[in-house]
Amino acid sequence: MLPSYKIRLTYISLLLFGFATVNCKKWVSISPPETSISNANVYDNDNTAIAVQTGIYSNMMSPNSLTGGGIIDMSFYPALSADELTLWPGNNNQLYSAYYTNLLTNQNTSYADFWNAIYPMIYVTNSAIEGLNASTNLTPAIKQQLLGEAEFMRSFCYFYLVNLYGDVPLVLTSNYLINATVARTPQAQVWQQIINDLKSAQSLLSPQYLDGTLLNSSAGRLRPTKWAAIALLARAYLYTGQWSNAISEADSIINNNSLFSLDTLNGVFLASSTEAIWQLQPVVLGWNTPDAQIFIIPTTGVSTQWPVYLSTNLLNSFEPGDLRRSDWVDSIAIGANTYFYPYKYKINAYNASVTEYEMVLRLGEQYLIRAEAEAEMNDLSDAAIDVNTIRTRAQLPNLLNDIASSQSSLLAAIQHERQVELFTEWGNRWLDLKRTNTINAVMGSPGNAYQNKANGYWNPDWQLYPISLSQLQHDNYLVQNPGY
């Protein structure tokens, strides 16, 4: 080896050695990966801030069936729990079976656990509210709309939580140190938060439907607006017995003729529905709504994959001539049996163009909210008018006078109207039975729907769903609902 080469080699080695021995703090600091954005910068930019909120709506529609686990499952599992759906005896899905027979335990809610599905959404809204409030770089109009959407979504989540579970922990921060040891908050306080959030959202949200940039108006009613906040607020007032407030909120929607009008029965669930207050857009390629996929039974009949159909109890509730019975219900005959299924959403074919959107809030319900509140305030004539508006669309005659003239029979008629109008939509029936205290009578008395479900036994405790065991174990301050 030549001496000069040898020296060079020594230098190179020393250099390499020296280069790498520097313990460099800079070296181990990394920037976030290109595929993700961190809390630090997500609310610094209009697009990413909007994307967080859009992500909530997108995720609500993401599981490609109604039974995939998420808040949208509200149209499925509570309908199984109530008297709307029948489960095929050959069904082998124990989760369906548990909801259907009301034999939920703290173990078997499995992936259809609303508690587990909703709290992560609340985390997003809480961190959005914190991030948006702290942000200084956003376009003011966008910031305002996003704050409104976040508050609306938070109240939307708590609405279902408080209805399904009773007292629930009221989590209003993103700080996990606080949220990990929360106890249940009394229902009244949760309702108050829902109402406060909705009032605030109502003032923040745009009265116009907006597109994905929040800068332009949009034909699709795919983001919550002022009207969505009002509609949910009307519902919240109804559920909490604040009748006059419920009326005034419903009024402002029903009176907004330029935006909202009752659609034809076959038009209600279309993307172009004039009745829609808030809808969600399907996000699975080639498919319309998940409702159509899970409810419409194909020609091969009921099976482990399509194991639910409408209960005879619900079918028998339709008055003769009710157009909803023919437009919103369809059937399939297999051998000697005919199976009836919800047909509000009609397109279950793959690769059909998307013409139906998932309806979350609609005008029809607002009429029924106002009717009920009016009836409760003994304004029977106005109540009857509102009910008859809905009946007329279904080509049913107006309520008989002897029904319309008595508060109790009118209230019963309104509940009946809700049953046939809002079936398999967002758990309305299950929630109505509970809030009107009719659930024990309907589910528990002999000869009723429940008899067809399991062993003919009903425990009033079952009107609240159980909290899963793991949650009780991970938060020692949580207490289970009675009966589980």
Please give the structure tokens belonging to residue 380. Answer: 């029977």
3 sits near other proteins (criterion: CB under 8 A): no
Please give the structure tokens belonging to residue 356. Answer: 């139906």
Name the minimum Å distance from CB 77 to other proteins.
16
Q: Which of 44, 130, 330, 475 binds other proteins (CB under 8 A)?
A: 475
123 sits near other proteins (criterion: CB under 8 A): yes
Q: Return the DSSP state at 465.
A: P
CB atoms within 10 A of CB 156: 28
459 sits near other proteins (criterion: CB under 8 A): no
Q: Give residue 384's Cα distance to chain centre.
A: 29
441 sits near other proteins (criterion: CB under 8 A): no
Q: Which residues pair with 342 in a beta bridge?
A: 329
200 sits near other proteins (criterion: CB under 8 A): no
- Binding residues for other proteins, how many (CB under 8 A)? 113
Name the minimum Å distance from CB 59 to other proteins.
5
Q: Which of 286, 397, 456, 483 binds other proteins (CB under 8 A)?
A: 286
**Is 307:96 a contact under the CB 8 Å cutoff?**
yes
139 sits near other proteins (criterion: CB under 8 A): no
CA angle in degrees (0–180, nearest 5) for 297-68-364: 70
Q: Which of residues 169-188 bind other proteins (CB under 8 A)?
A: 169, 171, 174, 176, 179-182
Name the minimum Å distance from CB 80 to other proteins.
14
Instruction: Please name which of 440, 441, 389, 387 lies closest in space to residue 409, comparing C-alpha atoms.
Output: 387
Nearer to other proteins, 98 or 410 (CB): 98
Q: Which of residues 308-367 bind other proteins (CB under 8 A)?
A: 334-337, 348-351, 354
**Is 180:477 a contact under the CB 8 Å cutoff?**
no
Q: Which of 299, 316, 401, 408 binds other proteins (CB under 8 A)?
A: 299
Q: Which residue has 């959407």 as its token pair?
A: 149
Q: Which residue has 């809610």 as its token pair?
A: 109
Name the minimum Å distance from CB 114 to other proteins.
11
Nearer to other proteins, 21 or 401 (CB): 21
Q: What contacts 373, CB < 8 A, 6 or more positions away? A: 237, 238, 243, 244, 246, 247, 250
Give the range of 144-152, 239-247, 430-438, 475-483 binding other proteins by CB under 8 A.
475-483
Please give the structure tokens belonging to residue 227. Answer: 């009207």
Q: Which of 166, 200, 256, 301 binds other proteins (CB under 8 A)?
A: 301
Q: Which of residues 27-56 bind other proteins (CB under 8 A)?
A: 27-30, 32-40, 42, 47-48, 50-52, 54-56
Binding string, residues 380-399; x marks residues near other proteins by CB under 8 A:
--------------------
**Is 424:79 a contact under the CB 8 Å cutoff?**
yes
Give the range of 99-107, 192-200, 314-322, 362-370 binding other proteins by CB under 8 A.
99-107
Tell me the C-alpha to C-alpha distance, in Å, between residue 102 and each of 97, 242, 390, 459, 461: 8, 31, 32, 9, 10
How many residues belong to the chain?
484
Q: Which of 2, 134, 219, 285 binds other proteins (CB under 8 A)?
A: 285
Q: Which residue has 């498919």 as its token pair?
A: 287
Nearer to other proteins, 9 or 188 (CB): 9
Greatest distance between any 2 Cα atoms in the chain:
117
Q: Which of 264, 267, 474, 482 binds other proteins (CB under 8 A)?
A: 474
